[in-house]
């Protein structure tokens, strides 16, 4: 009788092997024993010969990619995407690191001035900044301007970098052109020749000045400019500012002002500027001159004598001599009627405003009061009393002195000597009194002679 192969023990498997158990094992661990009978088709698939059961199971082949996935363009695209992704990650890390370096405090222990020459590239600028101690590493600076797209935006000039300026601050300063500003103050009352000399003495400026500006055409003020600015351009800027200001003030002038043009307004303002340096006196000095112009009285202003003698030099360097009071010059208001033919200095804003809007007074005289200001009067009698007080004040200040020898040249008479119409100054006048000039904003260039406005009225020739 033929043995049932399903009951025969498999070689090497032991006596307990049964086909059912082997079939269960072949079906996988997910089917539990007794889970139900398999279908006939399943039995046919799972029943194997003993030899087949001993052979190792074939590992299923992996799914092969499609031909489209193996296309060279797809492969290259994947590689490029991978590279871009890695680069983006690297850039992200670099940006984070760079931002930290850009905002960190710099190495400067104190403010540093650095001059960036013209026509130099970013690498030269980085080298210079590193040598001057403004930055620590030039490659970080170069990377910063590359990332911020400021490579070609750096500007030349003289810069001041503050203590511990960050790299971000340094780049912003160079990109925005925040160059160091120098300052030049032109005091009120300087002549144009003196203004030009100040500009020529300033070694921060460059170039020459073609010609001395017209007197009174420069506006005294404080001007700011970078190193290397041209002197001629600065003068032109001063003149432009003066024209703008004069026109603005002229448009707001008093309606009954006895001056006929902006040019005459500047002339009157220049006299006011040279007569007083006290802000609260300007409108009163202006009123004296305006009242005299209305009455056709000579202005009798000492600064006009000096300008007629020395012109744009501005200072006489000594008291006015008696012989110079009546010395004919185009500017001497003791000799001429009305205003001089042109300004005697460059007046400032306050004097221009005073000339356009003088005080509403009837005053016709003023004289130094011995304290740095002036005493004003409406009539000659009151003026003479002011002069007497001045003499007394000056005598109290002067120490006792031995009798002086006769002067080689007779000095000018004291302001107290009031003239009568058409009367020459007395030759036997008392010894002259030195009047302390009004305080000036130009201590190096004090007015050498006091105001003598206050002489008796000189009627104009018939």
For the stretch 252-283, pLDDT in tens is: 999 999 999 999 999 999 999 999 999 999 99
Q: What is the pLDDT of residue 77?
A: 75
| DSSP letters for 303-349 | HHHHHHHHGGG---SSPPBHHHHT---TT-TTTSSSS-SS-SS---H
- Residue 166 lies inside a defined structural domain of this protein: yes
The number of folded domains in the chain is 3
Pair 148, 194 in one domain:
no
Pair 107, 123 in one domain:
yes
- Residue 69 lies inside a defined structural domain of this protein: no
Confidence label for 299 from pLDDT (cuts 50, 70 and 90): very high
The whole-angstrom separation of Cα 89 and Cα 98 is 14
Pick 77 or 16 by higher pLDDT.
Answer: 77
Pair 372, 286 in one domain:
yes
Of 176, 191, 206, the position where a domain reaches its end is: 176
Pair 169, 287 in one domain:
no
Q: What is the pLDDT of residue 368?
A: 92
- Residue 71 lies inside a defined structural domain of this protein: no
Confidence label for 15 from pLDDT (cuts 50, 70 and 90): very low
Angle, helices 282-294 vs 349-356, to 10°: value is 40
Q: What is the pLDDT of residue 85?
A: 80
Alpha helices (H) along 39-71? 40-46, 50-54
Query: What average pLDDT does range 441-447 have in this prediction?
Result: 35
For the stretch 100-155, pLDDT in tens is: 778 888 899 999 999 999 999 999 999 999 999 999 999 999 988 988 889 999 99
Q: What is the pLDDT of residue 460?
A: 40
Asked if the model's pLDDT at residue 359 lies above 80, the reply is: yes
Confidence label for 89 from pLDDT (cuts 50, 70 and 90): confident
Q: What is the pLDDT of residue 455?
A: 45
- Residue 380 lies inside a defined structural domain of this protein: yes
Asked if the model's pLDDT at residue 98 lies above 90, the reply is: no
Pair 136, 243 in one domain:
no
The domain in which residue 138 lies consists of 103-176
For the stretch 169-192, pLDDT in tens is: 999 999 999 999 999 999 999 999
Pair 114, 167 in one domain:
yes
Q: What is the pLDDT of residue 128?
A: 96
For the stretch 193-225, pLDDT in tens is: 999 999 999 999 999 999 999 999 999 999 999
Pair 350, 265 in one domain:
yes
Confidence label for 352 from pLDDT (cuts 50, 70 and 90): very high
Q: Give bridge partners of residue 181 from the DSSP assignment.
A: 226
- Residue 214 lies inside a defined structural domain of this protein: yes
Pair 224, 282 in one domain:
no
Q: What is the pLDDT of residue 273?
A: 98
Q: What is the pLDDT of residue 409?
A: 40
Pair 196, 274 in one domain:
no
Pair 306, 239 in one domain:
no
| DSSP letters for 78-106 | HHHHHHHHHHHHHHHHHHHHHHHHHHS--
Of 119, 145, 176, the position where a domain reaches its end is: 176
Q: What is the pLDDT of residue 314?
A: 85
Pair 275, 419 in one domain:
yes
> What percent of the chain has a predicted confidence (pLDDT) above 70?
69
Q: What is the DSSP letter of 301?
A: -
Asked if the model's pLDDT at residue 236 lies above 70, the reply is: yes
- Residue 346 lies inside a defined structural domain of this protein: yes
Q: What is the pLDDT of residue 43?
A: 52
Q: What is the pLDDT of residue 245?
A: 98
Of 176, 196, 219, the position where a domain reaches its end is: 176
Query: What average pLDDT does range 30-54 have in this prediction?
Result: 57
Q: What is the pLDDT of residue 86?
A: 82
Which two structure tokens, joined as six digits, stand for 370?
Answer: 């011995």
Confidence label for 59 from pLDDT (cuts 50, 70 and 90): low
> What percent of the chain has a predicted confidence (pLDDT) above 90?
57
Pair 198, 139 in one domain:
no
| DSSP letters for 210-266 | SSPPPTT-S--SEEEEETT-BHHHHHHHHHHHHHHHHHHHHTT--TT-S--SHHHHH
The 3-state DSSP class for residue 151 equals: coil
Q: Quick check: 147 and 167 in contact, CB under 8 A?
A: no
For the stretch 407-419, pLDDT in tens is: 434 444 444 333 3
- Residue 326 lies inside a defined structural domain of this protein: yes
Q: What is the CATH number of the domain that holds 128?
A: 3.30.1490.480
Strands (E) located in 151-220: 157-161, 181-185
- Residue 54 lies inside a defined structural domain of this protein: no
Q: What is the pLDDT of residue 419?
A: 36
Q: What is the pLDDT of residue 103?
A: 82
Average pLDDT of the chain? 80
Q: In the chain, helix, strand, coil percent, each to 5?
A: 40, 5, 55
Q: Quick check: 374 and 329 in contact, CB under 8 A?
A: no
Measured CA distances, 455 to 79, 234, 388, 418 (Å): 103, 42, 14, 5
Which two structure tokens, joined as six digits, stand for 451?
Answer: 């105001």
């Amino acid at each position: 009788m033929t043995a049932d192969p399903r009951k025969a023990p498999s070689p090497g498997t032991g006596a307990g092997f049964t086909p059912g158990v082997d079939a269960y094992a072949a079906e996988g661990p997910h089917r539990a024993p007794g889970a139900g009978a398999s279908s006939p088709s399943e039995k046919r698939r799972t029943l194997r010969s003993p030899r087949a059961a001993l052979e190792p199971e074939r590992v299923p082949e992996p799914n092969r990619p499609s031909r489209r996935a193996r296309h060279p363009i797809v492969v290259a695209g994947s590689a490029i995407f991978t590279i871009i992704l890695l680069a983006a990650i690297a850039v992200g890390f670099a940006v984070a690191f760079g931002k930290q370096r850009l905002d960190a405090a710099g190495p400067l222990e104190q403010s540093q001035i650095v001059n960036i020459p013209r026509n130099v590239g970013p690498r030269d600028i980085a080298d210079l900044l590193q040598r001057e101690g403004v930055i620590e590493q030039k490659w970080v600076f170069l990377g910063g301007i590359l990332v911020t797209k400021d490579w070609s935006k750096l500007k030349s000039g003289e810069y001041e970098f503050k203590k511990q300026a960050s790299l971000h601050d340094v780049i912003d300063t160079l990109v925005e052109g925040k160059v160091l500003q120098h300052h030049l103050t032109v005091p009120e009352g300087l002549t144009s020749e003196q203004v030009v000399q100040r500009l020529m003495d300033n070694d921060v400026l460059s170039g020459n000045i073609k010609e001395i500006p017209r007197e009174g055409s420069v506006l005294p003020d404080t001007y700011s400019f970078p190193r290397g600015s041209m002197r001629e351009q600065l003068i032109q800027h001063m003149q432009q500012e003066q024209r703008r200001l004069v026109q603005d003030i002229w448009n707001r002038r008093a309606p009954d002002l006895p001056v006929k043009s902006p040019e005459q307004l500047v002339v009157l303002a220049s006299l006011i500027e040279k007569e007083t340096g006290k802000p609260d006196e300007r409108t009163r000095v202006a009123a004296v001159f305006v009242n005299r112009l209305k009455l056709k009285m000579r202005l009798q202003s000492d600064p006009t004598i000096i300008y007629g003698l020395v012109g744009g030099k501005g200072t006489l360097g000594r008291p006015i001599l008696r012989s110079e009071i009546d010395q004919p010059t185009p500017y001497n208001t003791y000799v001429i009627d009305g205003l001089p033919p042109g300004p005697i200095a460059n007046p400032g804003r306050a004097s221009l405003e005073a000339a356009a809007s003088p005080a509403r007074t009837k005053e016709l005289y003023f004289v130094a009061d011995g304290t740095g200001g002036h005493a004003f009067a409406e009539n000659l009698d009151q003026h003479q009393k002011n002069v007497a007080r001045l003499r007394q004040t000056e005598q109290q200040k002067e120490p006792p002195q031995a009798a002086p020898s006769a002067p080689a040249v007779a000095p000018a008479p004291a302001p107290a000597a009031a003239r009568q119409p058409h009367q020459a100054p007395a030759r036997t006048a008392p010894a002259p009194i030195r009047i302390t000039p009004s305080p000036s904003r130009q201590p190096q260039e004090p007015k050498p002679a006091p105001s003598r406005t206050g002489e008796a009225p000189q009627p104009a020739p018939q």
